[in-house]
Amino acid sequence: MAMIKNAACFKSDFPSKITKLPLKWAGGKRWLVPHLSILWERHKHRRLVEPLCGDLAVALGLMPEKALLNDINRHVINFYQWLQKGLIAEIAMENDQDLYYKHRDEFNSLIANDIADTKRTVELFYYLNRTGYNGLCRFNRKGGFNVPFGRYSCIKICVISLNIVILLLAGNF
């Protein structure tokens, strides 16, 4: 189960009626789930294949027994693979603009040096996702993450729910 240590201004996202998603994602497909669930009911014995899983909204909404989840963004897939391994993120989750840009520079340096699959890179990606502007995940032509700092009063940390753990165990990334 993934956990975040040293979280300043902590709001947990324990699941209520609808499971909270592990990543903030602009253009998420949560709104499609009620429509897809009607179609999925006849095929729920099959494996769900999702080529652009993003924030996992569809997969978590349908909760398939088996899933093949993919995304063009290698950092998203890397994040979910680390969650499958039981990631315990120990990065400070401070809502601080200077820290954000320091972490963004470190993240960009790691990916520029092809060190993208490490725990540290995943922690930085999660921090940038939670503190960056509007859940954007955007890279420039040189491959650098270039989302500006978000203006949030508090960072929402996703405490990984049982539904997410079950999906991660059922899914291949």
Per-residue pLDDT at 84: 86
**Domain range annotation of the chain:** 3-172
Q: What type of residue is 67?
A: A
Q: Minimal CA–CA distance to 107: which of 135, 155, 139, 83?
A: 139
Give the model's pLDDT for residue 166.
61
* Residue 7: closest CA among 96, 93, 89: 93
Q: What is the DSSP letter of 9?
A: S
CA–CA separation, 155 vs 11, rounded Å? 7
pLDDT of residue 160: 61
CA distances from 144 to 87, 104, 111, 121, 171 (A): 24, 9, 8, 13, 29
Distance CA 95, CA 130 (A): 9
Q: State the pLDDT at residue 111.
A: 96
pLDDT at res. 104: 98
* CA angle at 134 for the pair 130 and 135, rounded to the nearest 5°: 50
CATH of domain 3-172: 1.10.1020.10
pLDDT per residue, tens digit, the chain (173 aa), is: 343 333 333 333 333 344 678 888 888 888 899 999 999 999 999 999 999 999 889 998 999 989 999 999 999 999 999 988 888 888 888 899 999 999 999 999 999 999 999 999 999 999 999 999 988 999 999 999 999 999 888 877 766 655 566 666 666 76
